[in-house]
Amino acid sequence: MFKKILIANRSEIAVRVIRATRELGLASVAVYSEADRESLHAGLADESICIGPAPASASYLNIEALLAAAKRTGADAVHPGYGFLAENADFAQACADHGLVFIGPPAEAIRKLGHKTAAKALARAAQVPVVPGTDGTITQGFAQAAEAVGFPVMVKAAAGGGGKGLRLVRDPAQLETQVKLAQTEAATAFKDGSVYIEKFIERPRHVEIQIAADSAGGVVAFPERDCSVQRRHQKLIEESPSSAVPPATRAAMQAATIRLARAAGYSNVGTVEFLLAPDGRFYFIEVNTRLQVEHPVTECVTGFDLVALQIRLAAGERLPFGQDRAAEIRGHAIEHRINAEDPAHGFAPRPGRISGLRLPGGPGVRIDTHIYAGYTVPMFYDSLLGKLIIHAADRPAAIARALRALGELQVEGIPTTAGFHRRVLAHPRFQKGDFDTSFVDSLQEEIHAEGH
């Protein structure tokens, strides 16, 4: 086992990893930018070190600074959290080259699965259903390719993620313009402007399967998470299990996920994402070769600490349980991403000073956050303030508990999305489990109509 872990991240995920290392009896090193000197993660770790100015490019994305911090503090492993460099194969390889264990999959597995067209090819080889589309990236013949797939289509960045480099095209006359926009956005975000085309699945659910794998070939797949409540491809609410996934579909998705992980030579923790069509068929989208923001819902319904599991697997330990135990579902969990955003003004980010804070509590209520009264949310990073995770015996009980907890939550000084989450939970379609990835858009239209 390791002695000291450097956490190459910030905010609530850094706090989450620090807590896991402490429970495992390991020392932790936090890194922080000049804008994060007062962040909770910087003060909670056993050691902390400044790695650069506020911009992420000069700090949290600075591989040389992170490696230097690990060397200076004597860390023997690096946990990347999520975002920033968590899915960067070059960073994983650089850690290995400097004698550090990267707490995640091998660099080669990240490369195989991080490029979406390569991942789709691997999925096809593993007999995992994929959305119909081009066999890889294309640089010309977009009109012919789109006609062959059939409109509407999605233009997607091959190296994409987080909704960037993604364009829906219903009108063939708009295809060329949307391709250029996707290429430009992809080149800016990922330094890779390559794109591909695939069929747009109408009214899908976004469902994902959490996996864990050891270096000896053991692989397990956990119960699914439903991430369909999202805005502009950014998830807002996640829950497990999904109201749209019957047991037979769940088992099929888990089996497909395990086949793909084995084909990729995967180890450690990751997530395989699918679109679930209204007819019950599911299609592979992509693999996230890291811990997910929404990992707590899986922890709640399975009883496993996924961060501790990541660390143990990276240290060479084998999976301590098999597929039957991994697939067990214990109750229902819902996660709410509470952001410093103003829903009344297009979810515009609203950083600033938190003048007061009251966090909810009680049975089945978990808060993962880095904020406190007096903390100033910086303008340089994402707007996530924390995650409210609810666990109860069943879905109706979880919804009732979540409404109660959201009502108790008070963040003073800046607007948050907590009120919007209450609107979602109270909506009849959500309560019935009758929604898809377009649900938030339709809810916003309802709210807009009410205001006029």
With residue 77 as reference, give the H or E element that holds it.
Answer: strand 77-79
- In one-letter notation, the amino acid at residue 287 is V
Q: For residues 36 and 10, is the Cβ–Cβ distance under 8 A? A: yes
Q: For residues 133 and 149, is the Cβ–Cβ distance under 8 A? A: yes
pLDDT tens string 365-408: 999 999 999 999 999 999 999 999 999 999 999 999 999 999 99
pLDDT tens string 251-262: 999 999 999 999
pLDDT tens string 143-167: 999 999 999 999 999 887 667 889 9
Interval 124-143 mean pLDDT: 92
Query: Do both 210 and 171 map to the same domain?
Result: no
Question: In degrees rounded to 5, what are phi and psi of residue 130?
Answer: -125, 155
The last residue of one of the domains, among 63, 86, 103, is: 103
Residue 109 DSSP label: H
Query: Do both 263 and 363 map to the same domain?
Result: yes
CA distance 273 to 373: 36
pLDDT tens string 43-64: 999 999 999 999 999 999 999 9
The last residue of one of the domains, among 177, 199, 221, is: 199
Query: Do both 267 and 169 map to the same domain?
Result: no
Residues annotated as catalytic are 290
pLDDT tens string 169-225: 999 999 999 999 999 999 998 889 999 999 999 999 999 999 999 999 999 999 999
Query: Do both 349 and 424 map to the same domain?
Result: yes
Burial (0-12, 13-18, 19+ Cβ within 10 Å), 390: buried
Query: Considering the entire predicted model, what is its pTM?
Result: 0.91
Inter-axis angle of helices 247-263 and 116-125, nearest 10:
110
Find the domain containing 42 and state its range.
4-103
Query: Do both 25 and 151 map to the same domain?
Result: no
Strands 205-213 and 219-231, bridge-based pairing: antiparallel
CA distance 178 to 143: 12
pLDDT tens string 260-276: 999 999 999 999 999 99
Burial (0-12, 13-18, 19+ Cβ within 10 Å), 209: buried
